[in-house]
Amino acid sequence: MEDATVAAAVMLSKGRYHARTAESAEDIRAAQSLRTLAFGTRQPDVDAFDAQCSHVLIEDMRSAGQLVCCFRMLTMEHGGEIGRSYSAQFYDLSSLEEFSGRMVEMGRFCVHPGLNDPDILRAAWGAMTSHVDQYNVQMLFGCSSFAGTETGRYLDAFAMLKHRHLAPKRWLPRVKAPDVFRFAARLRRRPDAKKAMSRMPPLLRTYLMMGGWVSDHAVVDRHMNTLHVFTGLEIGAIPPARKRLLRALAG
């Protein structure tokens, strides 16, 4: 896991939750087990990217250190390395090859099923913010997933993404996967804002509140039973008030 060189010391305590980087093979197996449970996959959620990433674990210290959330980070020094990302399997990301700053792909984010304490998400973002500040990361990106592969229940959410949150043209990913939903081209509806936000995945909602943007199409991933959109967040574009809030979480 030693692309962890850049992420060797994410450490954060927020109330009952403690965030730390994985330090052993046992830690990574625990993260993989939580992912398998949270994503409901038939096979263990393990892939070759695990060995290239650093892994962040959020533990509940009032429940004997129960693992309640995890995600992994793959660090790239600039956009020229984006072809080695997980997301590049599904999206043509050649438009991002000219990005000059350090980038981190945030992936496999999950929370233990049945837990909905917002402090878990706050602890995760606090840990990520600490990492971004410490290592001068200029962009976060990844795949944001909607549960299931049927688009019907998410039409308002996709319409909202089309009208308010598409990537700038200079960074817009192009289609690569064989099975996609081209929501920007197909949807003509005006979104119902309440329905849109209620159907938006929590992680994606957080990205959008900070100024994040998405691809103009969703990939239909039948292996993971999800629809996902490429999501980018340029750190320099985060509104100052949001930056202060994130740094308060990381403090």
Q: What is the pLDDT of residues 187-197, one digit of tens each?
A: 999 999 999 99
Please say if the pLDDT value at position 251 is more than 90: no
Residue at 31 is within a domain: no
Both tokens assigned to 178 = 């064989």
**165 SS3 class:** coil
Average of per-residue pLDDT values in the chain: 93
7 confidence band (pLDDT: 50, 70, 90) = very low
Q: What is the pLDDT of residues 126-136, one digit of tens each?
A: 999 999 999 99
Using alpha carbons, select from 79, 109, 104, 123 the residue that is nearest to residue 228: 109
User: For residue 188, how many other CB atoms are within 10 A of its CB?
Assistant: 7
Q: What is the pLDDT of residues 8-59, one digit of tens each?
A: 444 688 789 999 999 999 999 999 999 999 999 889 999 999 999 999 999 9
Residue at 198 is within a domain: yes
Across the range 214-220, mean pLDDT stands at 98
Range of the domain at 177: 72-250
Across the range 57-74, mean pLDDT stands at 95
Using alpha carbons, select from 215, 200, 206, 223 the residue that is nearest to residue 153: 200
Residue at 41 is within a domain: no
pLDDT score for 2: 38
Q: Are 59 and 17 in contact (CB under 8 A)?
A: yes
Please say if the pLDDT value at position 215 is more than 50: yes
Using alpha carbons, select from 216, 208, 205, 200 the residue that is nearest to residue 238: 208
Residue at 34 is within a domain: no
Q: What's the total number of domains in the chain? A: 1
Beta strands in 27-158 (DSSP E): 54-60, 66-76, 91-92, 102-111, 137-147
pLDDT score for 13: 81
Residue at 112 is within a domain: yes
Residue at 197 is within a domain: yes
Residue at 86 is within a domain: yes
Both tokens assigned to 222 = 């039948």
Residue at 110 is within a domain: yes
